[in-house]
Structure 1
């Protein structure tokens, strides 16, 4: 009697192919890189955060209001949520291909540890405000502690998120009380200086970055809650099928964006010079802006999910959206390209670009570099090229 050979167990699959990608995550990453650019270019321009002129005039008032209300501390939580979403997508794809639990865990840990390495190089050579290393560390924790848990266990993140909503509301009430009790002289927003961004030589900036990076990474580790929320959403494949989750996405968009906008508005009004309160109230507004910023993650993602649900009804996506989606597929390269651009264009030891107004110079540079990255990503898409950073990471992770 003939015996049928048992096929060998699959250790792991290779990288995700273009046909396997969902539109919503890529479009979100590509579009939100513009907000990342606006925030980081301003940090370079002002050599500190939040990167605004404390005594604005004219249109600069409007710019400060929009930046502090919609951008600062509101863009990077989007990538935290999408990182958690992508983690589950990668794990599911490997598992559906027959990979063992151990093999899946191994490939994810390898990927995240290489991200830590990417982040260390990025922070050392270019920009202390790196998120790659922190996301890599968070990815290691999520892979070991959260990935293979039950649906019942993952419901805990909804409870945690509800408690954070209550905390944000309480913070808002305290900020309002601080404003009502404001009696001292009016205070303005001041940029917290970053020595590495103000350094007049590249060598000096490198030394300063090595000192600034650890504290920044420790701060970003708090995003593990946002990453976990992204994992919860990915387990339900919400962004793969946004039309089927329209009600949920609408509620999350309304709640998330309401909290993040209302939480950032008081500081935005101070930054615009339209609200005058004492330094104690300004400090309360700054804390409220940080706390409420994390809700921009689910808020923006849900909003884009609703937009994609409508776009998918069309026979064609259109060239601009296709190009932005191509950038989203190469978000790692796009993110690193931005840091190279800011170093060349805005650093004191670079071209030190100045168009007469620091805020508008940084904003113009941010928009221009984002457009260049969109065009470059679109060209790579037509040539079936992953992108330099993505290609390197995949070779290191998959040994291909």
Structure 2
């Protein structure tokens, strides 16, 4: 029997052990979850959406917080998340190939992971939150598994094309959807219960999943390229690249977000839909640079820390190791705190209050992850996904045979 077929049938190798993990990717995921929490909490009270009108006046504090979220968080967390997902998939495939499974076996593991993420995403939308990202990453794993073995010099052009095309398509789709779903100002809002809300979430999930794939494909490919160069695993060897990315990416994102910030805070009234479109697209495309800049900044921090890990860094890295569990726990918090049939907290707090709640929810997930780390446990969502992807863990003696 040919060697590739035999390798493809070899048992899948489990995930990287906690003691073998690099600090930079885990630290980046932990920090990224703060950005995600802040943006999700903010969206429950956001005064402005793409193509929409400003909903009213803001208090000075709410205006400052709205501006800060627009410049530093909104549209900046998901690109970093997508890049880290691409980075992680390369590590999954590389680990399988190093164990002798060959490319076909590694690709099978990646795609199996993608199918399960797609299912997790559907259940996440059905039970908890409409803004699901897991399904989009599952679909990316299925559609883009082949790029994991491309030569690094072939990836930048593809990534650049997806960054440009994806941001344009995403902006156009967001404006089209906003026009279709904009509420009638004179209509009375109908009460929403749990079943109606679940139906709405599941109905919009396929559309949002495709949109997020379009928006995330470019950052994903950048993450694949970075993984092929081991940028986060060996940050000390890529200091010049990391410094340029952080020093250029973060300011570009801030400057590119200024027009959208002026609209979101009500300081500027958009004269036409074309201008609103341009502002939103500029905010989106420069957000990619911000996401990459944040990841590079975290990697530089990891280099500076070296082997020193105090309690704060250890807890943040644990949060990164529990990133999927932390992300789902955030969604549980949104259900309890913000939905109209639960506490409906967004009706009683402004933008600043909602963002403070988001920070508190993220801190709670950090505490949970650190407690799990001290107990020697992986995140339950990560454990389930790994078991479904790789199968049950075999005893060491059996793996050695």
- TM interval, shorter chain, is 0.7 to 0.9
In the alignment, is the contact (CA less than 8 A) between 1:135 and 1:221 conserved in 2?
yes
> How far apart, in 1, do the equivalents of 2:271 and 2:55 lie?
18
Change in Cα spacing, 1:349 to 1:230, as seen in structure 2 (3 Å) is same
**Is the counterpart of residue 362 in structure 1 residue 364 in structure 2?**
no
In the alignment, is the contact (CA less than 8 A) between 1:12 and 1:107 conserved in 2?
yes
Q: Which residue of 2 aligns with 1:146?
A: 147
Q: CA deviation at 1:360?
A: 2.5
Q: Which residue of 2 aligns with 1:259?
A: 252
**Is the counterpart of residue 80 in structure 1 residue 82 in structure 2?**
yes
**Is the counterpart of residue 210 in structure 1 residue 199 in structure 2?**
no
**Is the counterpart of residue 243 in structure 1 residue 245 in structure 2?**
no
Q: Which residue of 1 aligns with 2:40?
A: 40
Q: Which residue of 2 aligns with 1:225?
A: 218
Deviates more, 1:349-358 or 1:74-83: 349-358
TM-score, normalising length: structure 1: 0.84
- Give CA deviations for 1:278-329 in whole Å, capped at 9, x if unaligned: 24434432232122222222121111111111111xx521101110110100
Change in Cα spacing, 1:151 to 1:289, as seen in structure 2 (3 Å) is closer
Change in Cα spacing, 1:46 to 1:63, as seen in structure 2 (3 Å) is closer
Q: CA deviation at 1:354?
A: 5.1
Q: Which residue of 1 aligns with 2:370?
A: 378
- Give CA deviations for 1:216-259 in whole Å, capped at 9, x if unaligned: 11111111111011000000101111121111111112222232
1:119 corresponds, among 111, 118, 121, to 121
Change in Cα spacing, 1:193 to 1:23, as seen in structure 2 (3 Å) is farther
In the alignment, is the contact (CA less than 8 A) between 1:353 and 1:361 conserved in 2?
no
In the alignment, is the contact (CA less than 8 A) between 1:123 and 1:130 conserved in 2?
yes
> How far apart, in 1, do the equivalents of 2:37 and 2:220 lie?
21
Change in Cα spacing, 1:198 to 1:270, as seen in structure 2 (3 Å) is farther
Q: Which residue of 2 aligns with 1:178?
A: none
In the alignment, is the contact (CA less than 8 A) between 1:11 and 1:100 conserved in 2?
no
Q: Which residue of 1 aligns with 2:396?
A: none
> How far apart, in 1, do the equivalents of 2:30 and 2:109 lie?
25
Q: CA deviation at 1:100?
A: 2.0
Change in Cα spacing, 1:151 to 1:355, as seen in structure 2 (3 Å) is closer
TM-score, normalising length: structure 2: 0.84
Q: For residue 134 of structure 1, give the secondary structure of its aligned residue in structure 2.
A: helix
> How far apart, in 2, do the equivalents of 1:389 and 1:82 lie?
17
**Is the counterpart of residue 347 in structure 1 residue 339 in structure 2?**
yes
In the alignment, is the contact (CA less than 8 A) between 2:67 and 2:265 conserved in 1?
yes
Deviates more, 1:112-121 or 1:90-99: 90-99
Q: CA deviation at 1:276?
A: 4.6
- Give CA deviations for 1:73-93 in whole Å, capped at 9, x if unaligned: 111111000000001011112
Change in Cα spacing, 1:287 to 1:322, as seen in structure 2 (3 Å) is same
Structure 1 residues without counterparts, runs of 5 or longer: 1-7, 172-189
Change in Cα spacing, 1:259 to 1:121, as seen in structure 2 (3 Å) is same
**For the aligned residues, what is the CA RMSD?**
2.9
In the alignment, is the contact (CA less than 8 A) between 1:29 and 1:328 conserved in 2?
yes
Deviates more, 1:147-156 or 1:109-118: 147-156
In the alignment, is the contact (CA less than 8 A) between 1:112 and 1:139 conserved in 2?
yes
**Is the counterpart of residue 308 in structure 1 residue 308 in structure 2?**
no
- Give CA deviations for 1:324-345 in whole Å, capped at 9, x if unaligned: 1101001000000001100011
Q: Which residue of 1 aligns with 2:109?
A: 107
